[in-house]
């Protein structure tokens, strides 16, 4: 954040200096104006066609010089501010990268040959977030050819989420019941959690609602096997309904965090069902890009400085590893520890008898006739015994 | 760190606006000052020109006071403008500094704003002005984006598309000094187009008059194109003769739009490509693995595996990896000492935790999700990835 602070320093200087000059200017010009007005008042004491006295003439001459100097000074003081202004620009240029076309040769990342695909992705991104209005505007302005049906799942999700945020569990329950089978396949406990929340909200009703609550508890029946403990706890809370659950060991049930969680659980399960990712692909890609660009800029700078721009001659791979963190790891990557190359279709990973995994090419390189010795442990085997693995 | 790479336009543009305001403020102050001086000179002359009456002097002094007041007003106004521009810049640095926080939630919100900022800029560059406005309003990022500049540009571009030169010429006048520094040809090209339009309407005498007025003091290459244009006088508007037909073509207006857009960007030190394009593709590249293009290893959570981005990323370079990092295909969780990678007899590897979980729910039997073959828990073998 030093970059920001450095620029901010210059801007603060500009603000101070300009305010100061503004006050100065006002003061100086007021002084000149007041003096002139005083002169006018003095002169008004005499009749118009009377000649000027020598004293008055002298005062006027003095005033002329004073006014000329004063007004020129005002203009000059303003002109001097330019230094402070240009320092801001220089600070920005020094601390922030202007041109990242320098990132890649041939401008790989600068052009977009399929803007229509990008616009589709952006549309989906807006629909996911419930920004239906903005999505529709984009469709109109960009002429995006969107499949009407693809919008529907997002609209429904947003409807349900909105209801959930207002405390209305019904739409979500209805959806969960309709998709009970698939949810169960995915090991989702959404329906039970929704019933649980509904039960808890009924608890707020107090002892008068007891029979209603008990009646509602029947809904737990299909889930009793899998969520035995939870059901027991919920029923246990009824013991305290007369004395107040807030002061009972079951007070945690009433905490609002349960509601925040349910939106999350619903989103995850709904997305899993629809085969969608939970997080918008656009968000993930842009965040990844924001992490990757500085690394790429760095390497390009180094390459240019050392004049070895051919290092990135293999256009199939980025020239540098970008560590995005575990949240961005969606696929297994195997890099052979011996040859330091990523596995490909022609060079898959293989498992030796001892369990160590190396690449097929490494296996060939290490083979002596048909014998191969594992580089990590003293186990020997024949090359044919190595088994191809899939991650 | 990400800030340094991406936020140059965020700060440079309000700086250029400040610069522009400074120049016009200086011009205003100088002009008012010279008016004051003119009056003072008149007063001086009057004093030397005896006899001088009280009345004469009073009159001039009153005028001096008026001019001083005007100067005061103009100076206050101009400096006020400059301070506003500086404050806009400050608001942006303030926003950028908010990124430096340990609070995860705040960071996520900041990133969301950043995505919206990047999208707004992309929409503005594409000409999707309504979408840009709506998004900026929704995210409350109006003063963090360069909406104003693009909206002014939009008006000029629309007028050019309507075959009008007046607004663009006014813009050129407004930015005269900077355009001169950039050695811009835009104004010349506009005058040329006006000439062509006069010829199109068969107003040839007017065209010649126009040429006399505007095609003076030309550079060599400009002279060359003027000579070509003058040749147009000899042809009727419907001419089929090769290079003259092109000159009369209406598509020249679109070229003017492009030229204007490019000059506008240069004025504010903006690049010709959008941050969005570069960031998106850099991001896709850093996520792209060969598995994204194999049916049985696609992952619904991976952006590169998703429908449209898969297509888009196909021509981009793959991510570079020098270290193995394994992920369980069943759970999506990383494989390490807490969750050992285990191999089934068919060569497919999964995490121990997921395999054990599957076995306990299925009375010791395991089904490989990708090949559907059945195995038992005892068939597992350990693998070691260095």
**Closest residue to A356, CB basis, from B290, B348, B384:** B384
**Residue of B287, B328, B382 to mutate for A, most A C-beta atoms under 10 A:** B287
Q: Give me chain B's average pLDDT, please.
A: 88
pLDDT tier for residue A284 given thresholds of 50, 70 and 90: very high
pLDDT digits (tens, 9 = 90+) for A245-260: 777 887 777 777 777 7
Q: Average pLDDT in the A275-284 region? A: 86
pLDDT of residue A108 exceeding 70: no
CB–CB of A336/A359 below 8 Å?
yes
Partner-chain contact A64 B43, CB within 8 Å = yes
Place of tokens 């002009």: B31
Cβ–Cβ gap B115/A282 under 8 Å: yes
Place of tokens 């693998």: B383
pLDDT one-digit tens code per residue, B151-199: 989 999 999 999 999 999 999 998 888 898 888 889 989 998 998 888 8
Model confidence over A319-357: pLDDT tens digits?
Answer: 888 888 888 888 888 888 888 888 888 888 999 888 899
Cα A196 versus chain centre, distance: 33
- Name the closest residue on chain A to residue B60, using Cα atoms: A40
Nearest CA in chain B to A278: B301
Q: Which chain A residues are within 8 Å of B286, Cβ to Cβ?
A: 288-289, 291-292, 318, 322, 324
CB B360 within 8 A of CB B384: no
Instruction: Please provide the average confidence, as pLDDT, over all residues in chain A.
Output: 84
pLDDT band at B372 (very low <50, low <70, confident <90, very high): confident
**Residue A64 and residue B115: Cβ atoms within 8 Å?**
no
Closest residue in A to B116 (Cα–Cα): A283
pLDDT tens per residue, range A57-101: 888 899 999 999 999 999 999 999 999 999 999 999 998 888 766
**Cβ atoms B350, B342 nearer than 8 A:** yes
CA distances for A344 relative to A311, A387, B317, B350, angstroms: 21, 16, 14, 19
Q: State percent of chain A over pLDDT 90.
A: 22
* Å between B221 CA and nearest CA of chain A: 30
CA distance A69 to B143: 40
- Using a CB-CB cut-off of 8 Å, the residues of chain B touching A112 are 277, 281
How sure is the predictor about A103, in pLDDT bands with cuts at 50, 70 and 90? low
- A282 contact residues in B (CB cutoff 8 A): 115, 280, 303
Tens-place pLDDT, residues A137-196: 999 988 888 777 777 888 888 888 888 888 888 888 888 888 888 888 777 788 888 888
In this prediction, residue A104 has a pLDDT band, given cuts at 50, 70 and 90, of low
Identify the pLDDT of residue B127. Answer: 84
Nearest alpha carbon to residue B68 among A34, A33, A22, A60: A33
Q: Give the pLDDT confidence score for residue A129 in this predicted structure.
A: 83
Percentage of chain B modeled with pLDDT above 90:
34
Q: Do A29 and B305 touch (CB under 8 A)?
A: no
Q: How far is CA B6 from CA A100, B11, B165, B276, B279, in A?
A: 9, 10, 35, 10, 9
Q: pLDDT at position B90, please?
A: 94
ipTM of the complex: 0.82
At residue A341, the pLDDT reads 83
Buried b (16+ CB within 10 A) or exposed e, B59-70: bbbebbbebbee
């Amino acid at each position: 954040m030093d970059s920001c602070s450095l620029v901010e320093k210059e801007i603060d200087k500009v603000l101070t200096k300009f305010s100061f000059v503004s006050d100065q200017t006002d003061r100086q010009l007021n002084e000149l104006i007041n003096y002139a007005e005083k002169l006018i008042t003095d002169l008004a004491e005499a009749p118009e066609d009377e000649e000027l006295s020598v004293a008055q003439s002298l005062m006027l001459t003095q005033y002329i010089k004073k006014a000329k100097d004063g007004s020129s000074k005002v203009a000059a003081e303003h002109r001097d501010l330019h230094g402070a202004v240009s320092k801001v620009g220089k600070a920005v240029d020094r601390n922030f990268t202007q041109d990242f076309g320098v990132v890649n040769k041939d401008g790989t990342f600068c052009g977009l040959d399929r803007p229509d695909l990008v616009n589709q992705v952006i549309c989906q991104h807006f629909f996911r977030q419930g920004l239906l209005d903005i999505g529709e505007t984009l469709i109109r302005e960009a002429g995006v050819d969107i499949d009407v049906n693809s919008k529907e799942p997002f609209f429904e999700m947003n409807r349900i989420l909105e209801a959930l945020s207002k405390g209305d569990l019904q739409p979500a329950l209805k959806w969960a019941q309709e998709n009970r089978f698939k949810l169960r396949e995915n090991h989702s406990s959404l329906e039970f959690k929704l019933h649980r929340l509904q039960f808890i909200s009924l608890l707020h009703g107090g002892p008068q609602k007891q029979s209603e609550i008990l009646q509602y508890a029947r809904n737990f029946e299909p889930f009793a096997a899998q969520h035995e403990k939870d059901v027991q706890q919920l029923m246990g809370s009824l013991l305290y309904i007369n004395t107040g659950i807030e002061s009972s060991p079951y007070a945690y049930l009433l905490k609002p965090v349960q509601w925040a969680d349910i939106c999350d659980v619903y989103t995850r399960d709904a997305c899993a069902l629809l085969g969608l990712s939970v997080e918008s692909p656009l968000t993930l890609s842009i965040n990844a890009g924001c992490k990757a660009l500085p690394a790429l800029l760095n390497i390009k700078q180094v390459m240019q400085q050392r004049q070895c721009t051919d290092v990135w001659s293999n256009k199939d791979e980025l020239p540098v590893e970008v560590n995005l963190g575990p949240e961005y790891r969606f696929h297994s990557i195997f890099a052979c520890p011996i040859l330091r190359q990523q596995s490909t279709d022609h060079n898959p990973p293989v498992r030796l008898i001892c369990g160590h995994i190396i690449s097929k090419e490494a296996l060939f390189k290490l083979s002596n006739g048909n014998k191969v010795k594992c580089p990590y442990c003293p186990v020997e085997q024949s090359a044919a015994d190595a088994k191809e693995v899939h991650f | 760190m990400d800030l340094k790479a991406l936020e140059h336009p965020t700060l440079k543009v309000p700086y250029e606006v400040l610069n522009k305001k400074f120049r016009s403020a200086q011009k205003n102050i100088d002009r008012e000052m010279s008016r004051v001086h003119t009056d003072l000179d008149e007063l001086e002359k009057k004093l030397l020109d005896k006899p001088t009456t009280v009345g004469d002097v009073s009159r001039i002094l009153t005028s001096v006071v008026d001019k001083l007041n005007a100067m005061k007003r103009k100076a206050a106004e101009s400096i006020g403008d400059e301070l506003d521009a500086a404050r806009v810049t400050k608001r942006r640095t303030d926003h950028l500094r908010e990124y430096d926080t340990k609070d995860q939630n705040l960071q996520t919100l900041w990133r969301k704003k950043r995505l919206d900022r990047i999208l707004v800029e992309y929409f503005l560059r594409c000409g999707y002005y309504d979408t840009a406005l709506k998004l900026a309003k929704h995210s409350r990022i109006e003063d963090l984006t360069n909406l104003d500049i693009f909206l002014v540009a939009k008006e000029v571009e629309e007028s050019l598309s309507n075959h009008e030169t007046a607004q663009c010429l006014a813009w050129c006048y407004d930015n005269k000094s900077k355009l001169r520094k950039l050695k811009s040809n835009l104004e010349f090209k506009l005058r040329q187009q006006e000439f062509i339009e006069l010829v199109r309407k068969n107003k040839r005498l007017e065209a010649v008059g126009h040429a006399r007025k505007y095609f003076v003091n030309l550079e060599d290459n400009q002279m060359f194109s003027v000579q070509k244009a003058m040749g147009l006088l000899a042809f009727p508007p419907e001419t089929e003769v090769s290079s003259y037909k092109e000159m009369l073509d209406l598509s020249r207006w679109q070229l003017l739009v492009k030229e204007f857009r490019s000059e506008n960007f240069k004025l504010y030190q903006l690049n010709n490509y959008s941050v969005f394009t570069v960031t998106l593709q850099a991001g896709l590249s850093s996520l792209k693995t060969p598995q994204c293009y194999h049916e049985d290893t696609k992952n619904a959570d991976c952006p590169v595996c998703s429908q449209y981005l898969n297509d888009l990323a196909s021509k981009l370079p793959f991510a570079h990896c020098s270290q193995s990092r394994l992920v369980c295909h069943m759970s999506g969780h990383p494989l390490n000492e807490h969750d050992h990678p285990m191999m089934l007899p068919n060569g497919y590897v999964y995490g121990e935790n997921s395999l054990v979980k599957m076995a306990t729910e299925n009375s010791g039997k395991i089904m490989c999700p990708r090949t559907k073959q059945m195995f038992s828990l005892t068939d597992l073998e350990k693998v070691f990835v260095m």
